[in-house]
Structure 1
């Protein structure tokens, strides 16, 4: 299938089209906790970016609140559309840091085709390659491992006995009429997305079976059971729980490891090494269960992601809330 043009088009997005001129400060103040004021960061303007889905926005607010407690002057540039655009913004110096995933960098930025199954080895390889090729430094990776997955409704999975992606392929080979998919354009064209899964499972999804949506719309659309039987999801997204979706096991391991880590230009980190001292203990405290719980507060309960980020940091003792 000729889908790579979609990725090329995404890469052509100009940084100015990402809304990067519209940065703003956090809507509240925080005080130090275990994160203490860092003289080298006092008054330093740090522009924090993110991609345009819940987990990314949440992680970026966690970074913003933590660095604010250390004394930095934060500029919020979250919600940039697409991995290529936010990465371009980092390389160009339009943002100073954002959270990236090891698998995304390995497949899309390093142009590797074979993922490394071990988390640590995948991180080590990405860290080395990104520094040597692009001057991008990776802080220590988090236990958060946000993999791609395909999901369906609990009712559809039970009706057809679906537990794995191999089960799905067997079903669709038997009854192609059931093959309707909701996906976003970036996933369709990525080697670590649909392209790689098709190769691993030996099944090409016909273009006519794919309906394209934004990431956020896929979950609600999939849950109705009317528009598509299968949809692209992230394994740490809280809507999997709130909508009771059934995630299909990637039994042939087509999707790479996606451990999250803060990425920053090396020259910027060399100027402000305290960024790592602030962020790495925070990163180590995060895991998939935490992200799922916090995502439910945002997507299920409608809470402000900045407030959710602050309250988690307060709970863990990293910062304190002056209002308390």
Structure 2
């Protein structure tokens, strides 16, 4: 990263001066923005930073951190627990989920720093007209509506959500929903949002809770009142050897991670996905607005 940045409220005294650090991320908007945030914070704290964000696939980014090809990234606790560590059942309490991942992943040479409130998990959403029409607020309300009026519950979902145990099949079991196959329409992620906003071909759509299109398209997210969906809180995932060499990484990232929540993520994601801005610039402007870093060296 060639940005000319210096400490704001983080990185004072340049605790990472002399460090050569590589940051990575997966290929979707939010994770790229988080990777840029991490890199810019390291840069402001004095490190020389190599940007290897936007790696295709969850496994590729994870392996980069595990092997030391990259020093760190923001990963999600649910992904760590289920995808990387091979567990089937998520832990409902977000703090316990993070602690379990942290403890289990030590053997893989990975250190999980404290998590954010940003929880990028699955949800169902609907537009304002359908919300007024059906008066549903929770997934239990959807289950009740399905029993009362099966034709009212039509779903737009991605192929992956339609088949994952932490997606539609598991949700249906948890809430006692018997959704007719003809009521489920599969499509790509972007089309799910537009069709849900229209509200004609489907009443409910699968969304990610931190997606900027939720607010931009006027969608309402239904509460997962039985806490079925796993917690996917974003947290710094750091190579153990890297943090042993540079333990200051933890203190530099802590306040920034603490400031991340779903509202922040939705806003930053929308600036990229709705307004077409560059993820690096979106990350930098947020850090500057929050006072975490400042422009210019010296």
TM-score by shorter chain over 0.5: yes
Question: 1:87–1:230: structure 2 CA closer, same or farther, 3 Å change rule?
Answer: farther
Question: Mean Cα displacement is larger for which, 311-320 or 72-81?
Answer: 72-81
Q: For 1:72 and 1:190, how far apart are their aligned partners in 2?
A: 40
In the other structure, the counterpart of 2:54 is 79
Select 2:43's aligned residue among 49, 68, 71: 68
Q: Distance in 2 between matches of 1:311 and 1:158?
A: 37
1:51-85 CA-partner distances (Å, limit 9, x unpaired): 33332222111111111112223233333344334
Mapped partners of 1:245, 1:123: distance in 2: 29
Aligned pair 1:182/2:145, yes or no?
no
- Whether 2:97 is the aligned partner of 1:125: answer no
- Give the match for residue 199 of structure 1: 173
Q: Deviations over 1:101-121 (max 9, x none)?
A: 222222222233333232222
CA shift for structure 1 position 218: 3.0
**Pair 1:229 & 2:199 matched:** no
Q: Hey, what does 2:25 align to over in structure 1?
A: 50
Is 1:211 the equivalent of 2:195? Answer: no
Task: Classify the secondary structure of the residue corresponding to 2:53.
Answer: strand
Residue matched to 1:14: none
Do the aligned residues in 2 keep the contact of 1:55 with 1:295 (CA within 8 Å)? yes
- Aligned partner of 1:147 in structure 2 is 121
**Residue 181 of structure 1 contacts residue 230 of structure 1 at CA under 8 Å; is this kept in 2?**
yes
Scaled by the length of structure 1, the TM-score of the pair is 0.80
The structure-2 alpha-carbon separation of the partners of 1:178 and 1:88, relative to structure 1 and needing over 3 Å to count, comes to farther
Label 1:45 to 1:166 Cα distance change in 2 as closer, same or farther (>3 A).
Answer: same
TM-score by length of 2: 0.86
1:14-33 alignment runs, 5 A limit: 25=1, 28-33=3-8
**Cα deviation per residue 1:143-172 (whole Å; 9 max; x = unaligned)?**
222332111222122212221112222333
CA distance in 2, matches of 1:69, 1:142: 21
With over 3 angstroms needed to count, the CA separation of the structure-2 counterparts of 1:271 and 1:243, relative to structure 1, is: same
Q: Matched residue of 1:233: which SS? A: strand
Partner of 1:36: 12
C-alpha distance in 2 between matches for 1:101 and 1:220? 26
Determine which of 73, 83, 86 is the counterpart of 1:111. 86
Within 5 A, what are the aligned runs for 1:236-255? 236-255=210-229
Residue aligned with 1:150, SS: strand
Q: Across the two proteins, how many residue pairs are aligned to each other?
A: 295
Change in Cα spacing, 1:195 to 1:105, as seen in structure 2 (3 Å) is farther
Tell me, yes or no, if the aligned pair for 1:100 and 1:263 is still in contact at 8 Å.
yes
Change in Cα spacing, 1:69 to 1:40, as seen in structure 2 (3 Å) is: closer
Equivalent position of 2:236 in the other structure? 262
Structure 1: tracts of 5 or more residues without a match = 1-24
Classify 1:225/1:120 alpha carbon distance in 2 versus 1 (closer, same or farther; 3 Å).
same
Structure 2 gaps, min length 5? none
1:225 CA drift (Å): 2.6
Deviation at 1:238, TM superposition (A): 2.3
Q: Decide whether aligned partners of structure 1 residues 91 and 218 sit closer, same or farther in structure 2, where only a CA change above 3 A counts.
A: farther
In the alignment, the residues of structure 1 paired with residue 156 and residue 64 of structure 2 have an alpha-carbon distance, to the nearest angstrom, of 28
